[in-house]
Amino acid sequence: MATVLDGIRVLDLTQFTAGPLCAMILGDLGADVIKVERPGGEDGRRALPVVEDVSLYYALNARNKRSVTLNLNDPEGRRILKRLARRSDVVVESFRPGRLDRLGLGYADLRRVNRGLTLVSITGYGHTGPYRDRGGFDMIAQAVGGLMSLNGEPDDPPLKVATSVAAVFTGLNGALGVLAALRHRDRTGEGQWIDLALLDNVVAQIEADIPFYGLTGQTLPRTGNRRLYTTPSNAYRARDGYVYVASGNDANWRRLCAAIGRPELAEDPRFRTNHDRRANLKETDRAVQEWLGDRSVDEAVTTLTAAKVPCGPVNDIPAVFADPQIAAREMIATLTHPRLGSIPIPGQPLKLSQTPLRAGGELADPGQHNAEVYRELLGAGPRKLATWTAAGII
């Protein structure tokens, strides 16, 4: 079946999360993604958790990629990369600003060998501004971008999001930028440079806090598991777990009151509107908790769902694996590995009817495709490969 990016070649020079995710999405869309890493493999291959010497962190964003090794500190390695770039459409990199320029592999250098090439550069702070030369990781971006200050309970210390939300958002925007750049190239023949920062992608996720502070000079309070704009919205304790209930508007609130056997609350002046309920937050939560605390998770979800009240179980990871909706949407995919067999990984959420994405595949070892790729793109035979290997170039 046809894929969206069939015929597009991507060189992935990145490591850890944002860049590998960007390149993986392009591979899911059908691009030929070639992972270019130093001999021995990138640092992400050693990140925890590890099972039988395989980094499961690395495996998350490694599907649909061929792997070659290449030493960019060697002049011949840099010449080889330029030859690969000449035969490619996109390069994704995550070096600190200026590093590729010093190696003679910056955008201007690569553009000279391929006018239509798109270069995606992913850094902590971007290539402009006073912080450009600082190192950056996801959790640092969450801190500097203000996200940690918004997360957690009101009286607790700032709290980072459990997942790499800055890096994931950056990777998604990187893939989006590539699609836009390829469209531009189709029209003009020109590639372009995409400058992405983890910090920018955190600030872009902050919602009403930005305009509220800009207009009032005040900050919105932290709300923990609650949602400021929706009351009630909280994780309520059932007999055997938690259920998240979100009454998004006054009509939902009336249905919730009927479902829990308290229809009179819908007409109580303390709870009539979302503003009223927010002003009487503890009493609102108490009414829901008193009903839910006597019931199992399944019983509560069944009753509330039948009443058209938005709710869901607070699943742990074993429950995610067992959830029939997640299974129906094929959101647990698998990578194959010679020692571990099938490695479960998150699936691909983008569902295209005519050009479905590829969400599985093989976890390649470092340099697994050296012979294949260097022969296919550069015409290198066994003797040349042996010479490069002996010299530490690949």
Render pLDDT for 30-50 as a digit per residue (tens, 0 to 9): 999 999 999 999 999 999 999
Residue 163 lies in a domain: yes
CATH of the domain at 132: 3.40.50.10540
Over the chain, what is the mean pLDDT?
A: 97
241 lies in the same domain as 285: yes
**Predicted pLDDT at 24:** 98
Dihedral angle computed from the Cα positions of residues 109, 393, 340 and 376, in that order, rounded to the nearest 10 degrees: 70
- For the stretch 176-231, pLDDT in tens is 999 999 999 999 999 999 999 999 999 999 999 999 999 999 999 999 999 988 99
Asked if 369 and 66 count as a contact pair (C-beta separation under 8 A), the reply is yes
26 lies in the same domain as 107: yes
271 lies in the same domain as 366: no
24 lies in the same domain as 82: yes
| Structural domain count, the chain | 2
- For the stretch 62-84, pLDDT in tens is 999 999 999 999 999 999 999 99
86 lies in the same domain as 170: yes
Per-residue pLDDT averaged across 352-380, rounded? Answer: 96
Asked if 62 and 35 count as a contact pair (C-beta separation under 8 A), the reply is yes
Per-residue pLDDT averaged across 164-183, rounded? Answer: 99
For residue 299, pLDDT beyond 90: yes
CATH of the domain at 288: 3.30.1540.10
250 lies in the same domain as 178: no
In which domain, by residue range, is 245 found? 233-314
Q: Give the C-alpha separation, 248 to 208, whole Å.
A: 17
Residue 319 lies in a domain: no
**Predicted pLDDT at 77:** 99
Final residue before a domain boundary, out of 314, 349, 377:
314
Residue 2 lies in a domain: no
Asked if 348 and 334 count as a contact pair (C-beta separation under 8 A), the reply is no
Final residue before a domain boundary, out of 288, 314, 340:
314
Q: Give the C-alpha separation, 18 to 22, whole Å.
A: 6
Query: Tokens in use for 198?
Result: 């983890």
pTM over 0.85: yes
248 lies in the same domain as 294: yes
118 lies in the same domain as 179: yes
Q: Give the C-alpha separation, 244 to 239, whole Å.
A: 14
Residue 80 lies in a domain: yes
238 lies in the same domain as 377: no
**Predicted pLDDT at 69:** 99
